[in-house]
Amino acid sequence: MSASIIIPAHNEGRNIANLLQSLSADIASGVRVILVANGCRDDTAVRARTFEGVEVVEINEASKIAALRFGDLLAGDDFPRLYVDADIVVSPGSVAALVGQLESATARAVAPEICFDQTGASLLVRGYYEFRRRHPLTEPWRVTHLAGRRIYGTNRAGRDRFGVFPELINDDGFFDQLFSNVERRIVHEARVTTSLSRTVSGEIRRLVRVRRGNIELDAWFRETSTSRPDRENISAPSGCLLGRMARRIVRSGLVRDPSPLIGFYAICYGVISWRVAWTIRKQIRDGASVDWGAKVFSGSLPRD
């Protein structure tokens, strides 16, 4: 199977073997796997080199964006291409399913279904995700959006849409916004598993980074005047507001997957969401920066 996989990895020594083992059949079938260990202080690269067929390179800069850029350079013209987080497990057949979708005439970007392993996670964190899974407002993300799924991929035509990755925290959000709903595919035959945060504080830190990354992303698109196909040519929704809300609730997990614990889940969701919003307001008020292995945007997007 002709394809390339780029894995940026920063201090992922505890997780990298699980990922590479889950990709072993794909590696054997000819998929090119490039792991870019960026600024690691652990044995990520050493562990990765024990897997035959994995290209391992090390860079000094602890930056996911730098790793993505370097991986792109090494991958050259090997397409389709998947960008894969290092802390996940990929289900058998998922890579083939994603690559197969990218052979479609209209598809430009793909991502898998995502499953959350709750083992060891705080009760509050588990409740937060149980409510989020049922929340009516998360339906568009579940149906069409690529961000947050730990893998996103594209073909040559899709990758030609931008030059190098910009220095943004939210790389998958940036990628997601470059494609319209018609061009994106959520591939239900492809599945990845990732672990939930073990503690409430860890989940709050993660959500703060994500949401501040979204704020930064919106500012970047405005300041660079970059085309944003995800938000262009969107037809007006049909029906009255009340009817649209009712349909969304019916399609949501509140109806399809009811639970007697929904009240508790809602409290967990509310508590964590409030704390995240409070933390973001405080950080912005205090001028605190946020760092997620990427530099904060400070200029226009360079081209290849």
Encode pLDDT of 133-188 as tens digits.
888 877 667 778 999 999 999 999 999 999 999 999 999 999 999 999 899 999 99
Sheet with 151-154: list strands edge to edge. Answer: 54-59, 32-38, 4-9, 81-84, 151-154, 109-117, 184-195, 88-90
Each residue's pLDDT tens digit, 22-65 = 999 999 999 999 999 999 999 999 999 999 999 999 999 999 99
Q: Which residues of 42-56 are buried (b: 16+ CB within 10 A; e: fewer)?
A: eebbebbeebeebbb
Q: In the structure encoding, which two tokens stand for residue 133, read together?
A: 């899974």
Indicate if the pLDDT at residue 300 is higher than 50.
no
pLDDT digits (tens, 9 = 90+) for 15-34: 999 999 999 999 999 999 99
Percent over 90 (pLDDT), the chain = 74
291 — pLDDT class (breaks 50, 70, 90): low
The angle subtended at Cα 186 by Cα 31 and Cα 175, nearest 5°, is 75
Is the per-residue pLDDT at 5 higher than 50? yes
What is the CATH superfamily name and number for domain 4-285?
Spore Coat Polysaccharide Biosynthesis Protein SpsA; Chain A (3.90.550.10)
- The pLDDT-based confidence of 259 (bands split at 50, 70, 90) is confident
Nearest-angstrom CA–CA distance, 1 and 95:
10
Q: What is the mean pLDDT of residues 293-297?
A: 38
Other Cβ atoms closer than 10 A to 224: 13
CB-based contact 229:180 (threshold 8 Å)? yes
pLDDT tier for residue 209 given thresholds of 50, 70 and 90? very high
Distance CA(260)–CA(93), nearest Å, equals 35
Convert the chain into a string of H (helix), E (strand) and C (coil).
Answer: CCCEEEEEECCCCCCHHHHHHHCHHHHHCCCEEEEEEECCCCCHHHHHCCCCCEEEEEECCCCHHHHHHHHHHHHCCCCCEEEECCCEEECCCHHHHHHHHCCCCCCCEEEEEEEEECCCCCHHHHHHHHHHHHCHHHHHHHHHCCCCCCEEEECHHHHCCCCCCCCCCCHHHHHHHCCCCCCEEEEEEEEEEEECCCCHHHHHHHHHHHHHHHHHHHHHHHHHCCCCHHHCCCCCCCCCHHHHHHHHHHHCHHHHCCCCCHHHHHHHHHHHHHHHHHHHHHHHHHCCCCCCCCCCCCCCCCCC
The tokens for 287 are 């001028």
Contacts of 189 (CB under 8 A, 6+ apart): 93, 94, 97
List, in sequence order, every residue forming a beta bridge with 9; answer none if it has no partner: 37
Q: What is the mean pLDDT of residues 290-299?
A: 43
What integer pLDDT is reported at residue 233 of this predicted model?
A: 59
Please provide the average confidence, as pLDDT, over all residues in the chain: 89
What's the rounded Cα separation, in Å, for the pair 1 and 247?
41
CA atoms within 13 A on the CB side of 245: 3
pLDDT at 293: 42
Provide the pLDDT for residue 134: 84
Cis peptide before 80 (omega within 30 of 0): yes
What number is the average pLDDT over the span 216-231? Answer: 91
Q: pLDDT per residue over 95-137, tens digit each?
A: 999 999 999 889 999 999 999 999 999 999 999 999 998 888 7
**pTM of the shown model:** 0.88
For the record, the structure tokens of 28 come out as 């054997």
Burial group, residue 41, by CB count within 10 angstroms (0-12, 13-18, 19+)? exposed
What would the mean pLDDT of 75-94 be, rounded to a whole number?
Answer: 96
Say how far apart CA 13 and CA 109 lie, in whole Å. 29
